[in-house]
A and B are shown apart, each in its own frame.
Chain A
Amino acid sequence: MTATKADIIARLQKDIFPLQGFKTALNNIALDKAIGPIKNAFPGNHFPVGVMHEFISDSKETAAVTTGFVAGVLAQLMQQGGVMIWIGACKNIFPPAYQSFGIAPDKIIFVDLQKEKQICWAMEEALKCEGLVAVIGEMQELSFNASRRLQLAVEQSKVTGFIIRNNPRSLNTTACVTRWQITSLRSQLPEGMPGVGFPRWKVTLLKVRNGKPGSWDMEFAAGRFRQVNAIPAIPLQVQQKTG
């Protein structure tokens, strides 16, 4: 009896997900593979494509780290070819670096805008365009209404949208399906090796619709994400030795 109840609930959930913006038909297997254990946090154990993702960053360093994580995800989306649009104040962007994440920088179109109103308008227009793989917007504030418009646009066109919010004044409610925060972790190399290792991030899923928020320590190497164990604190004497 209880088993049938669970079946009914599972079936109902399956019916509800498409209504909430999760489209199972769009699942990107390559991305699910590359993203590692994070995919289990989402309904259906698939990284949601064709929805709005929101990223929060609080400094220039975390902005770069967030961009790195987004680039890692985008690289999987762009594997089939295609073009994406980057909207925002692009004065910090260094295009050649995207190549090392597996994205051809010449396949990104940058739209250099300052005003939030203009960015929102351009994002909405871009998200309606089915010829794109992804749209990335950089802005500070995102009102609920604006995010709702963007989410409705992606539900029509199935383009994936990313919003990177730098230094938001308040973490207001938005209609985006997820909210992430990425911070940097110390890289680790095999014992005794000099230099800086692969980028490591603390990936925190603050909010996810119908999923399980969580936090993972991830390393990005060779185009895929790998979960790593927490790094022990630096012993004091090592700290002194460096340099």
Chain B
Amino acid sequence: MSKRFVSIWFRQLKTDWLVRRQPSLKEAPFVLVLPDHGRMVITAANEAAKRQGVYNGMVLADARAIITGLQYFDDEPGRAELLLTGLAEWCIRYTPAAATDVPDGLLLEVTGCAHLWGGEERYLTDIAKRLHHIGYDISIAIADTVGAAWALARFGKKINIVEPSRQSDALLSLSPTALRLEATVIERLEKLGLRQIHQFIAMPRTALRRRFGLELLNQLDKALGLQEETIQPIHPIVPYQERLPCLEPIVTATGIEIAMQHLLDKLCNRLQHEQKGLRLAVLKCYRVDGKMISVDIGTLRPSCNSKHLFKLFEEKIATIEPALAIELFILEATATEELSPVQKNLFGHKGALDDIELAELLDRIAGKIGAQHIHRFTPDEHYWPERSYKKAALNETIATGWKISNPRPLHVLPRPQLIDVTAPVPDYPPMNFRYMGNLHTIIKADGPERIEQEWWLQQGRHRDYYIVEDEGGKRYWLFRSGHYDVEKTYKWFLHGFFA
């Protein structure tokens, strides 16, 4: 199916906008001006001013000499773009793919939209009528290509319909300006007396390229549909989206649940059909009062299980405030991935880390409490105890094995705690130590195990670790930071508890 594009040309975009804001200006001649090299230059003149000989680019002083009492207003650079963006948003009602065409137009891709209005003629008439009602003077064209629609909107009638694949016929009688060419190329064509497209369209392409450059051929091809041209919609189209307009606005949680279920079923059906899984999804609720509330969910691995996704959304229902009521639900899958089918174990063995049920459980926990609370640890190649393991993602495989050459305590203190010890013999474990106000007499001890600082990471003293057991059988991990010396600069710390 060939694409269809609509081009809308606003003849007097800026002045029409000003008239909308100040209706009293409707009949009077006025201009918009911008300072340029110390002069005020006219950037837009309204119809009444143009009729008396004022044109864009004229110096304001000259124009005021022609029309006494000419009103002028300050223009603003970038205003046209702003206005067009607003108008493109407005055009979303006609097609999801609307783009601005700076400085004075809009481009819409309307493939498969026009029949909803009962045909292209009615579609265009409706757009034109509504824009006219708002106060804009426009002409509009529909064609198979962006180039042809653009040309017909500027150089045709008020409403132009080019039948599918008839764009070359429509273009033939137009001037080369309609091809969106640079001024120098147009001037050269003009000089050679080529004032209409049909005069050169049949010329050999090599000759055209030699005389007028590649630009002319490209633009010609784009207008004729030999070269693809796309538009940049203001809202990029989300490929996986489901809409649910509600006839009766929704205010209750049950209503929202039903809407979610409905949308998820539709979306998941489609995803499953295309072997895709959802990673991120957003539910947008459009309220009657014009506000939009959105809730989003994420999954650990691609999923198209509507039951699971519904559970994730269910947690967030409380955050949706319907206020007056919600009239439209839109569910978008903002990130999707290829779904790899996982074979399930039928017997016995419990699942590994790639188990779907586990992933769904972690999704629920992450959705309710936050993904930052879920950790998994893999070994890191460091001897320093605090650095011997690192946080890792769930699907990460371990590169190096866990070292078990030396015993390590099951519990450690987040920060080693300074303790008082009695240690009369150098490089021997202490006789006793005081921790939390209790005196622990050491009966048995192992050590020392010296762990040096990793100088490329951190400077400081080494640690001599001892495993000690007190009279109650409690086992501790103590260390002395630094060498024994006469000034007693070393310190003793308690670092962990053995089982």
Contact = CB atoms under 8 A, between A and B. Distances in A.
Contacts of A118: 369
B425 A94 contact: no
Nearest to A130: B357
A161 B360 CA distance: 19
A82 B379 CA distance: 19
Given A80-B349, A106-B398, A112-B373, A199 B475 contact: yes
B350 A108 contact: no
Nearest to A98: B410
Given A195-B446, A196-B445, A97 B430 contact: no
B411 A109 contact: no
A64 B376 contact: no
A74 to B, nearest CB: 12
A195 B429 CA distance: 11
Given A69-B499, A98-B410, A112-B373, A195 B445 contact: yes
B389 to A, nearest CB: 5
A112 B372 CA distance: 9
B377, B389, B409, B476: residue with the most chain A Cβ atoms closer than 10 Å: B377
B413 interface: yes
Interface string A156-176: 000000000000000000000
Contacts of B389: 95-96, 105
B379, B444, B499: residue with the most chain A Cβ atoms closer than 10 Å: B499
Contact of A234 (B408, B424, B431, B471): B471
Interface in A31-69: 60-61, 63-65, 67-69
B362 A242 contact: no
Interface residues of A, number: 65
Nearest to B365: A122
Interface string B449-477: 00000000000000000011101111110
Nearest to A133: B350
Contacts of A200: 473
Contact of A67 (B407, B410, B468, B476): B410
A107 interface: yes
Given A81-B350, A106-B392, A110-B377, A121 B368 contact: yes
Contacts of A145: none
18 contacts: A67-B411, A82-B349, A85-B361, A90-B375, A95-B377, A96-B388, A96-B389, A101-B499, A109-B358, A111-B365, A112-B374, A122-B369, A126-B365, A132-B361, A187-B444, A197-B444, A201-B499, A243-B423
